[in-house]
Each structure stands twice: as C-alpha cells, then as structure tokens.
Amino acid sequence: MPFALVFTVVLVLLALFQLALVLGAPWGHFAWGGADRVLPAGKRIGSVISILIYALMALIAWDRVGVIDVFPDLFSQIAMWVVFGYSALGILMNAISRSKPERYTMVPVSIVLAVLSLLMALGYGEMATAI
C-alpha cells in the first residue's frame, strides 16, 4: 500500500500542476515541450485529459494493491502494466523535451512514477488476503 500512496501523492501534485496550467498559470515551460509560458486552448484541453488519466492511474493502482475492488483482478494486473508503460514512456518524452526546466523537473518525477508502477505491476505492495 505505501507504493500506491506515494504514487497517488505524486499524481495529485501533477494534477494540481496541470490544473494550474489549465487556469492560466505561466508555468508552460515545465510542460508540453515548454514552448508556451501560458498554454493555448489546445494544450489546456490536453492538461484536462492528463488530470483524468492521472485519476484513472491512481484508481488502477489502489485496485491493484487491493485497497479497493473496482476492476476484475486480471484487468487491474494488466492495466498496471499499461500504467508502467505509460510512465516509462513519460521518462523518454520528458527527456527529449527542448525545455530544460521540463527535462530537469519532469524526468525525475517520471522515473519515480515508473519505478512505483513497476513495483505494483510486479505485485509488490498488495494487501495480504485472508485464507
């Protein structure tokens, strides 16, 4: 469960960051390639979609470790691997960003998410079940 908790805290912080971007915060150099200080409408929509993806990722993580039971077990096992793949891809995408602030900030965040999602995909952090 600690993996899911830390994973969720990081996702909540990212969601708050994305929400700030949606609301016009001048932090665009940390996201979406860093080309815009204030995101244009299209990228703001992308930030809203990111928030929804983060929520789904957290839901999958909590289901995978057994704190909640929303999805069939096989689905949450496979979905956690998809979350890991998405997080690992995030490392690459942030690493190739032209924006130094984005690279220096988001690559470590992506690494944390990828490691935590890998551990949960492998089954670590599952709650013990009574026999």
Residue 125 is predicted with a pLDDT of 77
pTM of the predicted protein model: 0.89
Show Cβ contacts of residue 107 under 8 Å, excluding neighbours closer than 6 positions.
91, 94, 95
Report the C-alpha gap between 47 and 20 in whole angstroms: 9
Instruction: Answer for the pair 1, 120: CB distance below 8 angstroms, yes or no.
Output: no
pLDDT tens per residue, range 106-123? 999 999 999 999 999 999
- Sign, Cα dihedral of 74, 127, 113, 5: positive
Residue 131 is predicted with a pLDDT of 41
- With CA atoms as reference, report the closest residue to 105 among 38, 10, 39: 10
Sites in the chain below the pLDDT cut of 50: 129-131
> What distance separates the 2 farthest-apart alpha carbons in the chain?
55
